[in-house]
Amino acid sequence: MLKLIKEFPINFEYDSDYLTITAYSYAFFLVVFRVLAPYFSAKLTKSYDRLTCNQKVEWNSRVTSTLFSSFVSFTCLYILFIDDALSTSPVIYDSTIVKTNIAVVIGYVLADMTIILVNYRAIGDIFTVFHHCLSLFGYINALNYSAMPYFANFRLMVELSTPLVNMRWFLYACGYPKDSLHFFVNGITMTLVFFVVRILSIPIYWYKCYTILDTPQWFKLRNLRQAMVITCLALDIINIYWFRKMYRGALIVWSANWSYYEKHHKPQQLEKLHSYQQSLKSKTLLAVNSLTMIINNPGRYIGLRFVERLMETLREVRESFNYENEESEVESDSESEMNTSSPVRIVRLLPKPFKTSS
């Protein structure tokens, strides 16, 4: 499956095998957009028939995007777990499974650009077109020259956040109010996942790039080095811009008035929300502790078996965190026994809403 490339190719030659995969991928995602998405959406939800023509175009596009991102991101995770040799030669390496995955990505990006250009008045976005052009440039070079396959696979894991981004639009299209529990849960989860896979991964990615700057394989890339670096920097800037907008929206949702849920939601929904907030608070603290350990020793998580070392760190932090929680629960139980006459009240976990001037 894997073959080290000793001589870096000069001429651009698109492998016919991967060209076929790209063509099949392009055709498949167009069929999903035109045939499968409308058919199954109409069968599964009545909200689809109530959409306007432009909304149906965007709905079908997002269904196609969700299917693509789910497949590609989990394939990347699978490669990361099973392909240890890929980390040993991240600059120039011939990996069949990585190149096949990249060929699927190129086919989807071409299909999505076709959908956008044909339906530009409905879903046209110059920012997305620019993002797709940068992605095409990077992945076509990675596929043709077998250049930086580890980094190409690493970058594709950002697609883990796409299904949640699309779900937010689906909730809106189905008529769910923006202050509903569904929007709250999806919005907070979407922001956290987006931060982890697209923002938190940036320093890890560039640290790995730093470790290969003096290798002979890096110098074999010649002018392609500058092009790949510029492309990745531009994509990182776009992701930071998107996250800034997402974070501001999540902050507004998080700052919503708690009394709204007490007044408008059933007790069961309120209990679920309360439980979710407690779980989210615990996981946030766990993520902060884990990130602190990674920042203190980033070299430990780069290279062979870095996933196992990362899971080991998470287990250590989780055990320490669970021990602290048990102590806090014992203290809270003792306090509640001393105050049995006090009325039961709901603890406000959300911050107070912003004050608006009249």
What CA–CA distance (Å, rounded) separates 186 from 246?
12
pLDDT of residue 342: 40
Dump pLDDT digits (tens) for 218-235.
777 777 777 778 888 888
Average pLDDT score over residue span 329-358: 44
With 0.75 as the threshold, say if the pTM is over it: no
Q: 260: which 2 tokens? A: 């709204």
- Does the structure show a pLDDT above 60 at 32? yes
Q: How confident is the model at residue 272 (pLDDT cuts 50, 70, 90)?
A: low
Q: Residue 354: is its pLDDT beyond 50?
A: no
* Amino acid present at 267: P
**pLDDT band per the 50, 70, 90 thresholds, residue 271:** low
For residue 288, what are the CA distances in angstroms to 56, 225, 317? Answer: 40, 34, 10
| pLDDT score, position 95 | 75
Residue 177 phi, psi dihedral angles, 5° rounding: -65, 150
Q: Is 153 exposed, middle or buried (0-12, 13-18, 19+ CB in 10 A)?
A: buried
| pLDDT tier for residue 294 given thresholds of 50, 70 and 90 | low
* pLDDT recorded at residue 71: 92
pLDDT in tens, 105-121: 999 999 999 999 999 88
Average pLDDT value over all residues in the chain: 75
